[in-house]
C-alpha cells in the first residue's frame, strides 16, 4: 500500500510541476515527445542521441530552464545513476499530463474571453460608524475613572458612561503650591 501511495505522490508532484510550466513550454514539450523517438530519464542527454523531455521542449522552441521539472521527472521515473530510456508507461503518463494541463489552460483562456468585464464595480464595503458603546472599547483610556465607567457600563451596572469629567480630587496639602512658591523664590534670588 505504501509503495502505491509513494508512486501516486510522485505522479501528483509531476502533475503539479507540469501545471507550473509556461504554456509555450508545455506545447513544445508535447511536440518534442512526439518528434524524438528516444526520450531518456536520469540525464539531459546520452551518447546514443537520447534527450530528456526538457531538452526536447527546448529544441522545439520552449526556451525554459525549469529544474523542478527535471527533479519531478527523475523522481517519477525512479531514475538511478545511469541514464536509461523512458518506458512506454512513463511517456504515456507524461503525455497525458501535458495534454490535460493544456486542455485546462485552453478552457480557462476561452472562459476568460467569453466573460465580459463587469460594467460597474460594486461599491466597497464601508464599516458603519461605531456607536457610543462601541467607541468606549476602541481606544485607550487616559483616565482611570473613564475606564472604570466604561467597564461598569459594559457589565450593565450603570446606565451610561459619564461624559463629564468628575471633579478633581484635592491635592495633598502643599503639593503644587509649595512647588510653585519654591520656584518663585529661587527665581527671585
| Closest listed residue to residue 133, CA positions, set 112, 108, 159, 157 | 159
pLDDT in the model for residue 88: 92
pTM given for the model: 0.56
12 and 101 assigned to the same domain: yes
Collapsing DSSP to helix, strand or coil, 19 comes out as: helix
pLDDT in the model for residue 139: 58
pLDDT in the model for residue 64: 78
pLDDT in the model for residue 150: 77
pLDDT in the model for residue 99: 92
Contact 86, 41 (CB under 8 A): yes
pLDDT in the model for residue 130: 57
54 and 146 assigned to the same domain: no
Number of domains forming the structure of the chain: 2
104 and 38 assigned to the same domain: yes
136 and 59 assigned to the same domain: no
Half-sphere exposure of 158 (CA within 13 A, CB side): 13
Taking the C-alpha atoms of residue 158 and residue 154, their distance in angstroms, rounded to an integer, is 8
| Closest listed residue to residue 70, CA positions, set 81, 55, 84, 85 | 55
Sequence-distant (≥ 6) Cβ neighbours of residue 49 within 8 angstroms: 38
Taking the C-alpha atoms of residue 111 and residue 136, their distance in angstroms, rounded to an integer, is 50
108 and 138 assigned to the same domain: no
List the pLDDT tens digit at each of the 189 positions of the chain. Answer: 455 777 788 888 888 888 888 899 999 999 999 998 899 888 888 888 889 888 888 888 887 777 888 888 888 888 888 888 999 999 999 999 999 999 988 888 888 777 665 566 666 656 566 565 555 555 566 777 877 887 777 777 655 545 555 555 555 555 666 677 777 676 665
40 and 89 assigned to the same domain: yes
Residue 119 lies in a domain: no
pLDDT in the model for residue 162: 52
Taking the C-alpha atoms of residue 98 and residue 119, their distance in angstroms, rounded to an integer, is 36
Amino acid at each position: 500500500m505504501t509503495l502505491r501511495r509513494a508512486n501516486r505522490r510522485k505522479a501528483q508532484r509531476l502533475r503539479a510541476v507540469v501545471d507550473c510550466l509556461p504554456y509555450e513550454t508545455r506545447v513544445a514539450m508535447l511536440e518534442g515527445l512526439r518528434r524524438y523517438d528516444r526520450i531518456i530519464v536520469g540525464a539531459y542527454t546520452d551518447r546514443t542521441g537520447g534527450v530528456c523531455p526538457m531538452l526536447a521542449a527546448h529544441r522545439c522552441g520552449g526556451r525554459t530552464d525549469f529544474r523542478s521539472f527535471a527533479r519531478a521527472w527523475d523522481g517519477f521515473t525512479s531514475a538511478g545513476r545511469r541514464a536509461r530510456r523512458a518506458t512506454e508507461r512513463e511517456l504515456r503518463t507524461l503525455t497525458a499530463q501535458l495534454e490535460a494541463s493544456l486542455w485546462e489552460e485552453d478552457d480557462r483562456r476561452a472562459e476568460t474571453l467569453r466573460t465580459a468585464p463587469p460594467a460597474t464595480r460594486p461599491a466597497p464595503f464601508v464599516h458603519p460608524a461605531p456607536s457610543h458603546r462601541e467607541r468606549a472599547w476602541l481606544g485607550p483610556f487616559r483616565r482611570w475613572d473613564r475606564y472604570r465607567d466604561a467597564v461598569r457600563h459594559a457589565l450593565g451596572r450603570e446606565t451610561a458612561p459619564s461624559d463629564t469629567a468628575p471633579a478633581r480630587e484635592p491635592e495633598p496639602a502643599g503639593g503644587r503650591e509649595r512647588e510653585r512658591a519654591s520656584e518663585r523664590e529661587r527665581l527671585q534670588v
